[in-house]
Each structure stands twice: as structure tokens, then as C-alpha cells.
């Protein structure tokens, strides 16, 4: 832990801030400290008080209050606010929903608007339920509609092209009602993991469908253009298809659409048709929402028997509601329609992080009845105080514009149509040094990779404290725990400690859902949470959880079965080989040749669209190609890690006596969106550059000392973090790297 101007940050937090949040100049050099970042944000957000008659002195006091709240890490706003408040871009919202109506003009307006939002750092949700089905006749041209899935690929391609400048990646939610005629194709549209990678998809389940499922009968499919019944499907067969695909790779998720609209605060304005990419924020078309999270880990008393610090929590809630309402006023919206709708409803989403840490400090197991009770107590308190704070703002500033006719009309004067949301807090929780959202610990101990491949063992600070106090701390044990992540099988650790320090995979799916449902009771919007399943879970297990979620009042569910996506790397432990009946040929393992102490080669500069790529090719003492290394100049991130991975795989192939021509044939001609031209002709991609460097090395026959860097680690596993190579954990609907802060929610 480092203390910078009174701000306590872990090394990981500093790394994430430097990589993603702090200002950089045109050369990419950091020109802002964490202290200055929080000062910038507090000053910008507090300035909204000037619109409501506050004096300069009063605004300065508000700024100081916001600064203290964020630098103490008691509360943090969503990432776009941290990144952009007080800067030229000034776009502070994370969540948007855009309408997609049944016309070519509306579809491509949505594509254009989504690109603008992604460029500004936001994520977008769409309902494709209004689009006529595949094969339907288009009246104006007498042509045939290609259907929702076809148009989703257009959105996906546009998102891929934008990439949000490397700070936040474009993410989309695609939702289709279960009664749309193309629902079967939608459920199966991500069967191949290479398709629609910038989309999460969810099926909107209606009450009519759930009733048909319970009664084991058919239900109607409706053409959204004509509102006529096209045909009928058996609800159980459709539900089984959803379940099996969710079991297979985590998608589609489900959203209980009618339940979402039961709590729509402004039904007179319109129906909610979709959510943001992680599902926690149902929004009307053109709405945006500003989110923030209270760090519950810092709201526990320091007494011998730790308890919730209710007074501090109340103070933080009130300041947080004030902060988030101000964000609506100082925000620079990407579209005028979004500004108008957002200011008319003034939705905010105050949530929590550090929930698992709070339970640990209070010695309460996550998977216990007491934890569920405490969840309701804590979130009920936050909801109640949040409404009071919004009501106080309403007295001072006025109710939201669409208040008349809303669910509050005549009952409670409030400033904000919604107040609470549980959002993913991937990078925010890393900055705060706490557990993510309402998730359990992802690991008690894990391996973190730092500069030049050095491995560090990271141990949960609460566990380290307990282990030292109870006398079972030692480095060797921590390393063993890092391999497994969980402590449940370690005999040297007392049972009461094991009970408290449970991880996501120690907890049953039913216990995950019970926790989600406990929080949902006191949430205006919805809850982003991942229900983790072990690899050996069955589709029936997923079905049971979906039905339990419906029964307990959840608004949606996201599941993830460990190892179900081909690209997954286990965050902890070593993957187990699946037993299979291998024939004789497969049972013979190829053992790569060992590397001699000294080796010779040459390094060649290849100019690629990603920057200068230095490729070192080394030979053994007989002149045979032996290994290959790459270095991407000053560039880093995905391109550098991918080039390094290719080099390691080539080295493994060469040391296993694979013909170099076969390697060249596999790589040559692969193209990317950034080709380059050099003296030797066109370089289509980094892969193409590596293939051509091998060819040139063999043709030139030049020898010399290779300047490649040391091979310090094993082959990069498919699915590792694309920026640092670290392991990726699935939580709150996102893939999160706890090593560098990379998140992908699409």
C-alpha cells in the first residue's frame, strides 16, 4: 500500500490509474497524479451547485466534501466520470439505450449514434424486438427482410471499428423478446465464439411465456410489424434451448421483461425494452444513467466485534446522491436527445462494492442466512436514505421533469426517477482495493504478473491478517493457495476461517441467486451479478437457478459455467485434462528440444500497422531454426502480447521439429485492419510480418547475435488478458483482469 498525499493506494490501483484514468499528453506521458485526478473530478462535479444558487464558498465546501469522499475511497463514480470530468470530452455516463425501429433509417441512425457513444466511453443497449422477422416482405420495395440477427452484425462491426481509443471498449447489449418470430435464431446466434463478440445477448422473457412454461403449453410468436400471430412454440422447448446455450457458453442471459416494467418509474413516457450491456440498468430509449458505488469495506466499525458503521454509511449515501445528481448537470452528452431524456428523468444508480470484504470483517460467511439478512439490512438502509436524500434535493432543486404521472406522483417528491443500481465495479474495486460489487472473493490468493514476467503472490489483506494472528501464515502456504485460489482443502487452516473466506466457486449457484435476490428487493433498477457454476454442472442445474431467480423476484440472470468458453483461462489453479480415449498416435507426446546455454541469430525490423516489430530468429549449432522472439517497440497492449504469444508458439513448434515452411504457410497472408507498406512490399499484419521475417532470414542466410529477450514464462494460454497476459475472471457480467484492470463486458 502506498500513501500519496493522504491517498492510500495499492500498487495495482496505481497501475490501473496510470494506464486508464490519469491524463496523458500527446506523447502518451502521464501529466496528472491520482491526487490531481480526484481534485479535477470533485471540482467539476461540485460546480453544478452554482446552478442552484450556491455561493462560491458553498461550492468550495461541496468540492472538499466530494474530494474527501473519493480520496478516502468511500465512494467512486463510474469510470467515464473519473476519466472525463473536468476534461474536454466531458462525457460522464456509462449506460445508454438506443431505439431500433423497423426502418432502415432508424437502424443506421442507431449504428451511427452507438459509434458516437462508444467513442465517448459509453456502452449501449438495444432491443431488436421491433424489427420484422427474417423473410418478411418489406412493403416499400417488395423485398425481403433479413431480420434482427443480420442487422446485429452491422452494429458489432461498427463497435469493433471504434474500439473507444483503448481506454474503454465498446460493449453492447442485444435483447430480443421471447415472442419474436426469430427467437430461435437469436438464442443460437453466438454458437460460434467468433461471432458478435462485442455483444452480450439476453432473451426478454414475458409473464405470458413464464405462465406457458409453468403450464407446459405453447405460446404465440408475434410479427412486430403486423402484430399478427405467425406460429406457436412450446415454451418448455424454447426454455430448454436457452438453458442449454447458457450452460454451453454463458449466453444468452435472461431478463424478466414484464417484471422490469412493473417497476418502471415513468410508464407514461414509455416501456422499457432493453438494458445496458451488463443488464443492471433498464432504460427507456435515449436514456442514460450515471452510476457510482459505495465501498462497504470502509463502512465497518473498528471495534473488536466489527459492525456496520450506519452513521458513516448514511453520510456517504447522502453525499453520493448529491454527487450523482450533479453529474447529470455537468455531463456533456453525446446526443441532444439523450441529454433531453436524461434530464427529464434524472435517473441515478447508487450501488455498492466491497460487500464480501464487509462480511469478512464482520466474520459472516457469504453463503449463510445471516449474510442474506445483512444484505437486506444494508441495501434497505441505502435505499431508504437514498430516497430521503433525493427528496431533500427535490425540495431544493425541484422534482424531475417527468414526475407528474410517475409512480411517485402524489406519494413522494423526489429529484431522481431511480436512485439505486448494483453495477459491475471491475476497475473501480481494484482502485479501491476491495472486492467487486456484491460478488464473493474471486480468490483468497492469486498470482499477479508485473514487469518482465515477474510473478508476485497477492494475498487478500484480511486473510493475511487472520493467518498471522492465528499462527498459520507462511509463504509456501500462500503459494499453494494461489495455485488453487480456494482454501477449502487445506487442513492447516481452521474450519471457521475456511467458512468466512469462501470464494465464488465455493458457493452454490442457489446461494449466488439468494444473495442477488436479497439485494434486488431494495434496488430501483437491477443487479449485475454472475452466478458461477462448476464445470461439471448440468443444464438442469442452470434451469433450476433460472426458475429460482424468477421465484425470488430477480429481474434477470447471468450465468457462467467454469471453462465453458473456449477462450477462458482459469484464474487460479491448473486446468484438469479431460479424460478421453486417445489412440496410440495421440498418446505419444512430442518433447521440445532443450535450449542450449548459447545460441546465435539475427534481429530484423519489420514495419507493421501496429508499429515497429523487432523479430529475432535464432538457430541451433547445426543451422536449423530453433526459436523466435518479438518486441513491439514502445507499443504495448494487445498487439504486443499477441506478437509475443505467436513468437512463443513458433518457438515451441521449431523446437518440436516442425518444418519452418509449415509455420510460414500458416501465418503468411493473415490480414488485419491496419496494413503497412515497407521496402519489401505490403505487410498485412503482425502475423504476416513474422512469416516474412522468417522467409528473409532463411533466404539471406545471415548469422549474428540475436537480441531477443529472455523466455521467462510458458506459452501464453488462449484467453489470457489481451493486454497483460494475466488471468481473466468472469464476474458481474464482465471478464475482468485483476492484474491490469482490463475489462470486457461485451
- Of the residues 12, 198, 200, 276, which is catalytic? 276
Name which of 165-169, 257-261, 519-523, 651-655 the model is least confident about. 165-169
* Class of residue 735 by CB neighbours under 10 A (exposed 0-12, middle 13-18, buried 19+): buried
Residue 54, helix vs strand vs coil: coil
Mean pLDDT of the chain: 87
From the list 63, 113, 200, 278, the catalytic residue is: 278
The position carrying cell 453544478 is: 48
pTM of the model: 0.80
In a domain, 218, yes or no: no
Does some domain include residue 219? Answer: no
Query: Distance between CA atoms of 515 and 372, rounded to whole angstroms?
Result: 6
Strands (DSSP E) found in 14-171: 75-77, 95-98, 123-127, 137-138, 143-144
Nearest CA to 334 among 94, 561, 563, 136?
A: 94
| Cell reading at 374 | 445483512
pLDDT for 264 equals: 98
Mean pLDDT of 238-257: 95
The answer to whether residue 577 scores a pLDDT higher than 90 is no
33 φψ region: left (φ > 0), alpha (ψ -120 to 50), beta (else): beta
The listed range with the strongest mean pLDDT (50-64, 563-577, 679-693) is: 50-64
Does the pLDDT value for residue 276 go beyond 70? yes
Average pLDDT for 621-629: 85
| Percentage above 70 pLDDT, the chain | 87
Per-residue pLDDT, 179: 98
| Residue 244 among the catalytic residues | no
Residue 591 has pLDDT above 70, yes or no: no
pLDDT at 84: 94
d(CA 324, CA 313): 16
Give the active site residue among 63, 280, 385, 511: 280
Residue that is last in its domain, among 459, 479, 502? 502
In a domain, 25, yes or no: no
Q: In the chain, how many domains are there?
A: 2
Kindly state the cell numbers that stand for 346.
434524472
Which cell numbers in the block locate residue 393? 434535493
Whether pLDDT at 168 is above 80: no
CA distance 542 to 562: 13
Confidence of residue 569 (pLDDT cuts 50, 70, 90): very low
Mean pLDDT, residues 297-312: 93
- CA separation for the pair 613, 672 (Å, rounded): 15
Closest CA to 520 of 380, 349, 353: 380
Question: What is the C-alpha separation between 96 and 114, in angstroms, rounded?
Answer: 9
Residue 300 per-residue DSSP state: B
3-state helix, strand, coil in the chain (%, to 5): 40, 20, 40
Beta bridge partners of 737: 728
Region 705-723: mean pLDDT is 38
Instruction: Kindly write down the DSSP assignment for every residue of 443-484, as one continuous string.
Output: -SEEEEE-GGG-EEEEE-HHHHHHHHHHT---HHHHHHHHHH
Identify the pLDDT of residue 705. 36
The answer to whether residue 671 is domain-embedded is: yes
Q: Count CB neighbours of 56 within 10 A.
A: 9
Instruction: Say which residue, 579 or 429, is predicted with more confidence.
Output: 429
In total, the chain counts a number of residues equal to 746
**Cell numbers linked to 55:** 455561493
310 Cα distance to chain centroid: 30
Averaged pLDDT for residues 9-16? 90
Tens of pLDDT, residue by residue over 502-556, are: 999 899 999 999 999 999 999 999 999 999 999 899 999 999 999 999 999 999 9
Which single residue is written with the C-alpha cell 449501449?
124
695 occurs within a structural domain:
yes
DSSP 441: B
Catalytic residue list contains 276: yes
Q: Is residue 497 part of a domain?
A: yes
| pLDDT at 88 exceeding the cut of 60 | yes
Residue from 440, 435, 432, 388 nearest 414 by CA: 388
With beta carbons less than 8 A apart as the criterion, state whether 100 and 128 touch. yes
d(CA 9, CA 696): 49
Assign residue 652 the CATH number of its domain.
3.90.1010
pLDDT at 613 over 90: no
For 212-222, write each residue's pLDDT tens digit: 999 999 999 99
Residue 570 within any structural domain of the chain: no
Measured CA to CA, the distance from residue 608 to residue 534 in angstroms comes to: 42
pLDDT digits (tens, 9 = 90+) for 427-467: 999 999 999 999 999 899 887 765 545 667 889 999 999 99
Query: Is residue 627's pLDDT more than 80?
Result: yes
Determine whether 740 is an active site residue.
no
Looking at 660, 675, 700, which one is the last position of a domain?
700
CB 187 within 8 A of CB 245: yes
Q: Which of 502, 523, 538 is the last residue of a domain?
A: 502
Q: Angle 251-252-253 (CA atoms, 0-180°, nearest 5)?
A: 100
Query: Which range marks the domain in which residue 658 is found?
Result: 600-700
Q: Residue 673: inside a domain, yes or no? A: yes
pLDDT at 722: 61
Amino acid at each position: 500500500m502506498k500513501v500519496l498525499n493522504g491517498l492510500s493506494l495499492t500498487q495495482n490501483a496505481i497501475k490501473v490509474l496510470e494506464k486508464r484514468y490519469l491524463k496523458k499528453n500527446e506523447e502518451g506521458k502521464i501529466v496528472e497524479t491520482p491526487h490531481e485526478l480526484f481534485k479535477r473530478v470533485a471540482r467539476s462535479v461540485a460546480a453544478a451547485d452554482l446552478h442552484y444558487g450556491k455561493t462560491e464558498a458553498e461550492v468550495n465546501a461541496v468540492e472538499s466534501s466530494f474530494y474527501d469522499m473519493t480520496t478516502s475511497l468511500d465512494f467512486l463514480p463510474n469510470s467515464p466520470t473519473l476519466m472525463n470530468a473536468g476534461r474536454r470530452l466531458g462525457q460522464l455516463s456509462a449506460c445508454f439505450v438506443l431505439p431500433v425501429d423497423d426502418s432502415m433509417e432508424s437502424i443506421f441512425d442507431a449504428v451511427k449514434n452507438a459509434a458516437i457513444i462508444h467513442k465517448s466511453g459509453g456502452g449501449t443497449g438495444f432491443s431488436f424486438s421491433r424489427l420484422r422477422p427474417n423473410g418478411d416482405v418489406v412493403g416499400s420495395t417488395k423485398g425481403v427482410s433479413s431480420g434482427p440477427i443480420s442487422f446485429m452484425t452491422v452494429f458489432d462491426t461498427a463497435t469493433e471499428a471504434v474500439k473507444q481509443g483503448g481506454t474503454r471498449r465498446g460493449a453492447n447489449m442485444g435483447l430480443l423478446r421471447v415472442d419474436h418470430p426469430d427467437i430461435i435464431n437469436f438464442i443460437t446466434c453466438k454458437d460460434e465464439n467468433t461471432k458478435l463478440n462485442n455483444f452480450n445477448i439476453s432473451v426478454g422473457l414475458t409473464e405470458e411465456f413464464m405462465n406457458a412454461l409453468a403450464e407446459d403449453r405453447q405460446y404465440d410468436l408475434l410479427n412486430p410489424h403486423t402484430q399478427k400471430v405467425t406460429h406457436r412454440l412450446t415454451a418448455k422447448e424454447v426454455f430448454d434451448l436457452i438453458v442449454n446455450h447458457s450452460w454451453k457458453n454463458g449466453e444468452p442471459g435472461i431478463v424478466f421483461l414484464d417484471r422490469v416494467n412493473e417497476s418502471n418509474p415513468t410508464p407514461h413516457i414509455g416501456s422499457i425494452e432493453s438494458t445496458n450491456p451488463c443488464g443492471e440498468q433498464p432504460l427507456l430509449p435515449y436514456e442514460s444513467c450515471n452510476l457510482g458505488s459505495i465501498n462497504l469495506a470502509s463502512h465497518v466499525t473498528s471495534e473488536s466485534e466489527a459492525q456496520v458503521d450506519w452513521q458513516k454509511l448514511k453520510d456517504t449515501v447522502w453525499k453520493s446522491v448529491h454527487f450523482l445528481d450533479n453529474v447529470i448537470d455537468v455531463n456533456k452528452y453525446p446526443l441532444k436527445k439523450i441529454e433531453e431524456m436524461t434530464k427529464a428523468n434524472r435517473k441515478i444508480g447508487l450501488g455498492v462494492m466491497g460487500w464480501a470484504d464487509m462480511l469478512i470483517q464482520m466474520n459472516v460467511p457469504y453463503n449463510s442466512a445471516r449474510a442474506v439478512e445483512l444484505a437486506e439490512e444494508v441495501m434497505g438502509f441505502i435505499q431508504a436514505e437514498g430516497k430521503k436524500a433525493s427528496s431533500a434535493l427535490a425540495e431544493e432543486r425541484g422534482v424531475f421533469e417527468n414526475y407528474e404521472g410517475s409512480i411517485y406522483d402524489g406519494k413522494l417528491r423526489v429529484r431522481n426517477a431511480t436512485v439505486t443500481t448494483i453495477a459491475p465495479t471491475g476497475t473501480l474495486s481494484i482502485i479501491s482495493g476491495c472486492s467487486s460489487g456484491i460478488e464473493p472473493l474471486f480468490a483468497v490468493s492469486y498470482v499477479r504478473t508485473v514487469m518482465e514476467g515477474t510473478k508476485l503472490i497477492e494475498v487478500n489483506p484480511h486473510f493475511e491478517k487472520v493467518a498471522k494472528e492465528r499462527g498459520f501464515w507462511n509463504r509456501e502456504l500462500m503459494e499453494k493457495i494461489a495455485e488453487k485460489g480456494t482454501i477449502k482443502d487445506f487442513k492447516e487452516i481452521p474450519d471457521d476461517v475456511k467458512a468466512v473466506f469462501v470464494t465464488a466457486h465455493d458457493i452454490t449457484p442457489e446461494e449466488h441467486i439468494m444473495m442477488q435476490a436479497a439485494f434486488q428487493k431494495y434496488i430501483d433498477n437491477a443487479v449485475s451479478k454472475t452466478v458461477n457454476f462448476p464445470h461439471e454442472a448440468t443444464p438442469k442445474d442452470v434451469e433450476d437457478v433460472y426458475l429460482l431467480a424468477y421465484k425470488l423476484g430477480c429481474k434477470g440472470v447471468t450465468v457462467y459455467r467454469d471453462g465453458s468458453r473456449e477462450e477462458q483461462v482459469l484464474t487460479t489453479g491448473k486446468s484438469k485434462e479431460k479424460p478421453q480415449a486417445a489412440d496410440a498416435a495421440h498418446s505419444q507426446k512430442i518433447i521440445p528440444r532443450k535450449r542450449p546455454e548459447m545460441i546465435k541469430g539475427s534481429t530484423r525490423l519489420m514495419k507493421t500497422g501496429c508499429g515497429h516489430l523487432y523479430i529475432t530468429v535464432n538457430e541451433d549449432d547445426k543451422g536449423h531454426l530453433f526459436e523466435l522472439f518479438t518486441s513491439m517497440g514502445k507499443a504495448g497492449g494487445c498487439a504486443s502480447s499477441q506478437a509475443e504469444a505467436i513468437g512463443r508458439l513458433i518457438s515451441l513448434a521449431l523446437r518440436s521439429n516442425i518444418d519452418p515452411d509449415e509455420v510460414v504457410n500458416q501465418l503468411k497472408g493473415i490480414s488485419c485492419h491496419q496494413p503497412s507498406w515497407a521496402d519489401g512490399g505490403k505487410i498485412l499484419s503482425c502475423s504476416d510480418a513474422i512469416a516474412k521475417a522468417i522467409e528473409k532470414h532463411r533466404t539471406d542466410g545471415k548469422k549474428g547475435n540475436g537480441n531477443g529477450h529472455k523466455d521467462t514464462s510458458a506459452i501464453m494460454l488462449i484467453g489470457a488478458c489481451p493486454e497483460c497476459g494475466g488471468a481473466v475472471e468472469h464476474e458481474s457480467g464482465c471478464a475482468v483482469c485483476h492484474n491490469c484492470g482490463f475489462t470486457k463486458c461485451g
